[in-house]
Structure 1
């Protein structure tokens, strides 16, 4: 004997469930629209990415003794530049390391700075370090650098940059700097070269 399927009385969906569904839909649509606005704004200002670079430097002191201790004083001007015509930029978490032959001499750091559109800001650092112990190979490198009148220091690090894209969002990314600072030991002048986080 075939079974008869019986259905009980159908329950109506509670109005609160419908209300929550409508609210979730509205929120989802708002998030999508906000994302599109941020994306379009990013495309508009993207061609000009803020960057950091070395604007100038000078070797004030380079002295090493027979015991292998190096004393040096270097000034470095780091420039935070915003070439964009349509958005202000914020730089933060600036942290660069100045080294010689793998020996860390100093950290160049800065907090948050604001750079208006089509503007730049210079950060001036003076690094004074004494009694840096050198091994025999590093001592030979200093002597050789004096003879050829060119000595190199490594500057490496990063900084976070941010654009505000309208009232709804922002675009964040990292600037990475990795270059050699070269000087003439005879007079301390900086040998200018490309030292920038800007893409080639």
Structure 2
């Protein structure tokens, strides 16, 4: 009869190879886990050291230079100046603001687009843009005309401002970051002297 003395040794060899593969898999997973943990620690420490701040935009001033209503023809004309500030609070990184675009509206009607080309804000500084809007005659429906009259009676004229910009900056070895700044607020003015009523209008998280 043929001998079976080699079967146990063959089975043992296969078991040994299987165990080796298992241990290789365990070691590989352990190394990957350690790499992820170390990378997380490096990023966290880098964040604490550099303390990156998200740049933002905000309305810092405005002036209603003129508002005139033609009751006979039902038209409204305005001249308004809005100052929007782009702020970069990072001490170690410049920031680039892209696609700055804001829509100014009055009583639900879009009356102007406020745009700016791409620009850079150096580290820990800000840039102000003064947008002067002189509208064409704005047609008013009966309801809108009544709302304007009500605003004059209350000594309060309100505009809507909506839009934003894309901002890009690099935080050391953490790499480039990109973020959207959004504005959606209402600008109030006294009808009696056309002065601005300061209010919070910012994309900065509160």
Structure 2 partner of 1:62: 67
- Name the residue aligned to 2:79: 73
Q: Which residue of 2 aligns with 1:26?
A: none
Per the normalisation by structure 2, the TM-score is: 0.75
Would you say the 8 A contact 1:82–1:115 is kept in 2?
yes
CA deviation after TM superposition for structure 1 residue 87, in Å? 1.4
Number of the residue aligned with 1:115: 121
TM-score by length of 1: 0.77
**Alpha-carbon distance between aligned partners in 1 of 2:119 and 2:185, rounded to the nearest angstrom:** 23
| Equivalence for 1:21 | none
* Structure 1 residues 118 and 42: CA distance shift in structure 2, 3 A: same
Q: Which runs of at least 4 in structure 1 moved beyond 2 Å after TM superposition?
A: 36-47, 165-169
After superposition, where does 1:169-188 map in structure 2 within 5 Å? 169-188=175-194
Paired with 2:45 and 2:136, the residues of 1 have a C-alpha distance of 49
- Trace 1:69-148 onto structure 2 (pairs within 5 A): 69-148=75-154
For the residues of structure 2 that align with 1:49 and 1:165, how far apart are their CA atoms?
11
Q: Is the 8 A contact 1:41 1:165 kept in 2?
A: no
- What is the CA distance between 1:169 and its match in structure 2? 3.4
Task: Provide the alpha-carbon RMSD of the alignment.
Answer: 2.3
TM superposition shift of 1:146: 0.6
Per-residue CA deviations over 1:112-165 (Å, capped at 9, x if unaligned) read 111111100000110001310010111001111111100100000010011123
For the 8 Å contact 1:52–1:78, the answer to whether it is kept is yes
SS in 1 for 2:146: helix
Which residue is equivalent to 2:18? none
Structure (1/2) with the larger helix percentage: 2
> 1:137 is paired with a residue of what secondary structure?
helix
| Greater Rg by CA | 2
